[in-house]
Chains A and B, each alone.
Chain A
Amino acid sequence: MTDFSTDAARDLAGPAWLVDRRVGAAETFAASAPPDVADEEWRYSAIREFNLSDYAPSLKTCDVPTPDLEIDAAAVVHTVNGRVASVDVGDELVSAGIYIGPLADADAGPALLGAVSAEASDYFTVLNDAFAAEPILIRVPSGVVVQRPIVVTHHVSGGRVAAFPRLVVDVGTNAQAEVLDYHTSDSGPLLVCPVTELDVAAAGRLGYLNVQQLGSGTWQFSSQLARAGRDATLTASTAAFGGGYARTRSDVRLVGRGANCDLLALYFGDGRQGLDFRTYQDHVAADTTSNLLYKGVVSDESRSIYTGLIRVRPDARGTNAFQTNRNLKLGENAWVESVPNLEIENNDVRCSHASAVGPVDAEQQFYLESRGVPTGEAERLIVAGFLDEVLESLPVTTMRRQLRSAVDTKLNRQAQLSHQTQAEGALS
């Protein structure tokens, strides 16, 4: 028995429609079977080591310092344990008809919550439906262009707390926005199940960047669910550094003719981290394009998993769909699984998939060393360069410096570890 009961869902604050929705979801959840490695989608995951009853839904927000991302943002929303801590939206955005804030306070809220996720629900999105305390809505009306990025931060704090951040981004016809979705948590045992819905209407343009720098004791089951309309352009991207076991599911459904989606991720695991990615490029409409590039590094005893599916539906003639996953394995004890897949139901398509797993290239290493670059520094340059291809393509370009420094922090830790190992070797 867990604390995620229908009664617990009913107790969460909100308007009647939201409470009813939560209760309905809690009932569905109570009747659903937990995922298992026997399911293809969870085959390589650590789901058997996860125990939901170790956690309880967060009942209140708590006072924690909010991160300063040093970004020139159009608007900033801070949330803690899935509840709004602060909202800062400039007047010019409000007068342009943009809404950024609690979804429950927006007239369109009931129609928009679940509009994208309903067709892609799973165990953890339903759990989020039942326990999302205060969903956030970003709505950019037709024809409006937001120049600077909109920032939403989520922090999870406490002991054995479960948090359910919910973000809905609705980009209207021919509108444009960039959103940074930034996730952190304390270092103790925590659970976070974020759901982000991205809905881009005809000719709309959205750059979405999810950054997770969660604490080392956090389980994350994240779902980024996107829908792109006619001639819409979407970049759905992730930079994953933290968490004990962090799974990110990223789905894009290309439902309008001519829609174009880039799916990007960079990740770096160390210690005993598990970073798990599941992607789905679903081509429903004709002449749609999706291009996926996921690049990751694993060191120490960390693990990374990539499984992805391109699906081309019968009506989606003229589809271009590509899927590439590349991994660098630093050290013998790191572990990588990479499984791309295609399911094609139309003949008039161009699709490809590729995956690669390997150590730092010895030729590249030799080339740099032959110019006087010390061994460790050469490896650093190559690893950082490997991730740079993705980094240079990410939206919210003002985050790049910080992402580079996150990569550097990981690499510095590697350098320290190998230094220690050498020192120990010298002593023994």
Chain B
Amino acid sequence: MSELVIEGLRARVGGQEILKGVDLAMASGEVHAVMGPNGSGKSTLAHALVGRPGLEVLGGSARLDGVELLDLPTWERARAGLFLAMQYPTEVPGVALRDLLRASVSTSDNADEIGSLMRAEAQRIGFDEKFLERPLNVDLSGGEKKRNETLQLGVLRPRFAILDELDSGLDFDALRLVGARVEAATEEDSVGVLAITHYSRLFEQLRPDTVHVFAGGRIQQTGGAELAQELEDTGYERWSDSPPPTTSGSKLGEDPFADPFADPFA
């Protein structure tokens, strides 16, 4: 049984304070949804936890089984058991998924085993095996990139996985497969999942135990699975600090890692 405990996490990007004191605790096998309006800082929370360069932590803590993640370099956080499925996975020319997984945590076993694990995972989510030998994310469609992230989650078996808008870019069938795969990881490997999203569609397969409403750089409300549907129906308007935007983009740009193409009225 593992535990991820975030307390009073504050972070700044480009001189602007984005995270204003985040508290969240979760255990192995649990699914926590973090939902909120665009620009509220959800993605910044994900990146603060894994330690993205350019992001300055101002205070607070994030401990995985008592180990302070914020003191570790990114790769050691991953080795401690933290995984981030990125919203925009980076293209890495010349480095194949196989090379990455070989150099990665928990897969220092023999190469054959990685190969068969990769193929098994690819099959589970309908990811074309030809991509396993190709350079990471290069020339992959948005949906293929998300499957690639999910495949890595399956192979690496982290203790806690943060999914940053894993649902975006996926069509209905792919979403079903990917959602089911993550749900299975929570059961088979007791992976704890922090699912950041704007919509509830990911939760058809991946059943959240807890839903947090994230706005204005902190968690505003916490409830059960029913809260996700409620948010889908009523929107996030009441969580906005200011009146509803009258011009597009007035709330955008506050979260530097948010989807720049998102519809501000969604």
Are A and B co-members of a single complex?
A: yes
| Chain A interface residues toward B at CB < 8 A | 361-364, 366-375, 377-378, 381-382, 384-389
Give chain B interface residues in 59-83, CB to chain A under 8 Å: 73-75, 78-79, 83
Stretch in contact with the other chain, from B5-13, B97-105, B203-211, B230-238: B97-105
User: Which of A367, A371, A385, A388 is packed against the most chain B CB atoms within 10 Å?
Assistant: A371
Indicate if B52 sits at the interface (CB-CB under 8 A): yes
Q: Which residues on the A side are within 8 Å of B90 (C-beta)? A: 361, 363-364, 366-367
Question: How far is B52's CA from A215's CA once the two chains are assembled, in angstroms?
Answer: 41
* Contact (Cβ within 8 A) B50 A370: yes
Question: In this assembly, does B92 line the interface, its C-beta being within 8 Å of a C-beta of chain A?
Answer: yes
Q: B105 to chain A: which residues have CB within 8 Å? A: 371-372
Among A364, A377, A386, A389, which residue has the most Cβ atoms of chain B within 10 A?
A364
Do B93 and A371 touch (CB < 8 A)?
no
Residue of A366, A368, A374 touching B100 (CB-CB under 8 A): A368
Give the docked Cα–Cα distance between A371 and B90 (Å). Answer: 12
B174 within 8 A of A: no
B30 to chain A, nearest CB (A): 22
Do the beta carbons of A382 and B95 come within 8 Å of each other?
yes
- In whole angstroms, what is the CA distance A387 to B93 when docked? 9
Distance in angstroms between the alpha carbons of A323 and B83 in the assembled complex: 40
13 A-B pairs whose Cβ atoms sit less than 8 Å apart in the complex: A364-B90, A364-B95, A367-B136, A371-B100, A372-B78, A374-B75, A375-B75, A377-B103, A378-B103, A381-B103, A382-B95, A385-B93, A389-B93
B53 within 8 A of A: yes
Q: Is the CB of B94 within 8 A of A389?
A: yes
A124→B142 CA distance, assembly (Å): 53
Q: Does B152 contact A (CB under 8 A)?
A: yes
Query: When the two chains form the complex, which single residue of B84, B89, B91, B100 contacts A381, counting CB atoms closer than 8 Å?
Result: B100
Q: Which residues of A contact B118 (CB under 8 A)?
A: none
Binding site for A on B (CB under 8 A): 50, 52-53, 73-75, 78-79, 83-84, 86, 89-95, 99-101, 103-106, 135-136, 152, 156
Q: A362-B53, A367-B86 are in contact. Are A372 and B75 (CB under 8 A)?
A: yes
Q: Output the least CB separation between B102 and chain A (Å).
A: 9
Q: Report B225 CB to chain A, min CB distance, Å.
A: 29
A378 and B84 alpha carbons, distance in the complex (Å): 17
In order of increasing CB-CB distance, the 10 nearest A-B pairs are A385-B94, A372-B105, A372-B78, A388-B94, A367-B90, A385-B95, A369-B74, A369-B75, A373-B103, A363-B90
Chain B at the A interface: SS class: mixed
- Given A364-B90, A366-B52, A387-B94, A378:B99 Cβ within 8 A: no
B156 contacts across to A, CB distance below 8 A = 371-372
A363, A372, A382: the one contacting B106 at CB < 8 Å is A372
Q: How far is the CA of A378 from the CA of B94 in the complex (A)?
A: 12
Give min CB distance, A336 to chain B, whole Å: 19
Contacts of B73 in A (CB 8 A): 369, 375
Closest to A384 in B: B94
CB distance from A83 to the nearest CB of B (A): 40
Across the interface, do A386 and B75 meet the contact criterion of CB distance under 8 Å?
A: no
Tell me which residues across on chain B come within 8 A of A384, comparing CB atoms.
Answer: 94-95
Rounded to whole angstroms, the CA-CA distance of A367 and B145 in the bound complex is: 13
With A367-B86, A367-B89, A367-B136 given, is the CB distance from A373 to B94 under 8 Å? no
The answer for the CA separation of A378 and B79 in the assembled complex, in Å, is 14
Seed contacts A368-B103, A385-B93; 11 additional CB < 8 Å A-B pairs: A366-B52, A370-B83, A370-B86, A371-B104, A372-B79, A372-B105, A372-B156, A375-B73, A378-B103, A385-B95, A387-B94
A366 vs B156: C-alpha distance when bound (angstroms): 17
CB pair B75 A378 closer than 8 Å: yes
A246 to B90, CA, bound (A): 35
B4 to chain A, nearest CB (A): 16
A381 closest partner in B (C-beta) = B95
CA distance A361 to B93 in the complex (A): 11
Return the chain B residue nearest A377 by Cβ: B103
- For B52, the chain A residues whose CB sits under 8 A away are 366
Among A372, A382, A387, find the residue whose CB has the most chain B CB atoms closer than 10 A.
A372
By beta carbon, the residue of chain A nearest B73 is A375
Q: CB-CB < 8 A to B152: which residues of A?
A: 371
Task: Known A368-B100, A368-B103, A381-B99; judge A373-B92 contact (CB<8 A).
Answer: no
Q: Is the CB of A371 within 8 A of B94?
A: no
Measured between beta carbons, the chain A residues less than 8 angstroms from B94 are 382, 384-389
Give complex CA distance A366, B100 in Å.
12
Least Cβ–Cβ distance between B223 and chain A, in angstroms: 30
Question: Which residues from chain B contact A375 at a C-beta distance below 8 Å?
Answer: 73, 75
Check A373/B100 contact, CB under 8 A, given A366-B74, A367-B86.
yes
Closest to B54 in A: A362
Chain A contacts for B74, CB-based, 8 A: 366, 369-370
* Cβ contact within 8 Å between B135 and A373: no
| A residues near B100, Cβ cutoff 8 Å | 368, 371, 373, 381
Q: Say whether A386 contacts B93, CB under 8 Å.
A: yes
